A and B are shown apart, each in its own frame.
Chain A
Amino acid sequence: MSAALAAADAGAQVLLLESNLRLGGQYWRHLPENGLNSWAGQSALQSDYQKGFLLRNRVSSNPNIEVLCGAQIWSATSEDSVTVNFLYDGVSHSFETQSLVLATGAYDRALPFPGWDIPGVMTPGAAQALLKGSHVLAGKKIVVAGTGPFLLPVANGLVQAGGEVVGHFEAQRLRSWISHSRIAVRNFHKVFQGMRYLRLIRQERGFAVVSAHAGVDGQLEFVRVAKIDSDFRIKNGSERKIYCDVAAVGWGFTPDLSIAHSLGLNFIEGQDGYPVVAVDALQRTSDPRIFAAGEITGIGGSDLSLTEGAIAGRAAADRLQNINPTVTLKSLSRARTLRLRQRKFANTLVKIYSVKDGWRSWLTPETIICRCEEVTAETLKESLVSLGATNSRSVKLLTRVGMGACQGRICSRAAVEIIAAEQKMKATVEDHISAGNRPIFSPITLGQLAQEPIAYDAL
């Protein structure tokens, strides 16, 4: 939204493709504003609801921005022009452009653990989407766990909406902040917000949900929570049971790089070792026609995304009008200063809330790693030992890990790390990139594929 507005303000005609049914991305999910879904009701669920509301309105009322909601991009290529193929109203359309802004966001990073596939175990993002987007509490007794600042607003939102949070666990201890105290002080307003959440809801630090267990109906009945050390290894004898019908467990975020990958963009190593799209001060990628903003350039939250979006939108529009990039740089100097400060803080947060290798010690041989294809940890490791797999690609071919419906979005990050660890190596950025190769990003039927895509040129 931020990029679209900046581009339109700079004189461009903008086509905004939003994959969800309503504007707002993940962060500003909402129910349509009318009657039952009153302003008061919705803003009670999110402290900066108004900001999102105003943004959405500015975008939808701007005559130079065309918005298509429910547009599922299924392929993208870059040759003479950048071509995006998307499904809209069940029909495939294609759109060619010389200036593209990618802001495909991120999704919760899930770590496999025994029982994570039981109905009732979900990500914090799922609990949040249910609450903000549909005004539904995920369950009656909810455990929130994992790592990251995101756990706080999730647990807080659930409690404010009348839910019972029966356990709230953060893997890191507060001492993880000590070596970053200077940055914390510089961004005190953000830290303060976090501290306010902690006053409202308890959080136990240095703990993790290490397994989930089903009742006779096959659904979540309880989780086991353990005290963990700074390497995430379980402290013996510290495990306890917590009865719950929902466990919202998440470990930060994974950027959604499918489209960036397909367009052949360069990646660099992010703060947490996972790839991110490489961009310069104008949010330009390795392809001068393509700009990237938000989580795909590095996990950083909504404020940073808005700042980067504004830079990318302006730069993308200027490019179309052949304005010299140095001129663009100069006019964006305030935004760039802001971006530097926000980026530095965001990077610090990713470092503080990093995932340590000890999580792999929670796995049992029967733990499902690839949910879609039901591939267990044992099968993965066996393929290296007795089937002759030598790297993550051959493990994938032999075991089908990452080849199911989600195309490795959920499992491949963890699978790559498990495989690397089995080979006594560290997972590289290249390992992650090749696991993220998805020529088709969204389900499309053969019938839709067979039709000639309709060239979209309403602009």
Chain B
Amino acid sequence: MNSVIPPEKRVTFTFDGKTMTAISGQTLAAALLRNGIRTLRKTRKESKPRGLFCGIGICFDCLVVINGQLNQRACIVEVRDGLIVETQDGVGSS
């Protein structure tokens, strides 16, 4: 399951500056988990770490910043080449 990805199916993106790879068609949350990332954001009030919970786009816990856009649900967004992903701090700042 975690084997080498052939180039035509490989997607490269960054997470908090680190380069990662994934299979095209995977969700960003899946790609991050595949690369060992479980914590995606810190909560607004208590700065508690949160990660994937419902996996289907309804709990809004997997929020990350993608290419500068806040509140993106990682479990819904498909991973694409060149995405710049960052952990979201609370509601972030714009």
Contact = CB atoms under 8 A, between A and B. Distances in A.
Contacts of A32: 24-25
A120 B55 CA distance: 12
Contacts of B20: none
B43 A374 contact: yes
Interface in A124-160: 125-130, 133-139
A138 B30 CA distance: 8
Contact of A133 (B1, B30, B45, B59): B30
B59 A119 contact: no
A437 B58 CA distance: 15
A122 B78 CA distance: 20
B9 interface: yes
Nearest to A124: B55
Given A372-B60, A374-B48, A125 B25 contact: no
A245 to B, nearest CB: 7
Contacts, number: 131
A410 interface: yes
B1 A35 contact: no
Interface in A359-376: 371-374
Nearest to B8: A35
Contacts of B34: 134, 136
A35 B30 contact: no
Interface residues of A, number: 49
B26 interface: yes
Contacts of B40: 119
A117 B50 contact: yes
Given A119-B38, A135-B26, A218 B48 contact: yes
Contacts of A405: 60, 63, 71
Interface in A91-139: 107-108, 110, 117-123, 125-130, 133-139
Contacts of B59: 371, 406, 409-410
A328 to B, nearest CB: 33
B15 to A, nearest CB: 14
B52 interface: yes
A120 B26 CA distance: 19
B8 to A, nearest CB: 7
A447 interface: no
A348 interface: no
B68 interface: no
A35 B6 contact: yes
Interface string A20-55: 010000100001100111000000000000000000
A325 interface: no
Given A119-B49, A123-B53, A162 B23 contact: no
- When A and B form their complex, which 10 residue pairs have the shortest distance between CB atoms, in order from nearest? A126-B55, A119-B51, A134-B30, A405-B60, A134-B26, A136-B30, A129-B55, A218-B49, A119-B38, A31-B25
Interface of A: 19, 21, 26, 31-32, 35-37, 107-108, 110, 117-123, 125-130, 133-139, 161-162, 217-220, 245, 256, 371-374, 404-406, 409-410, 443
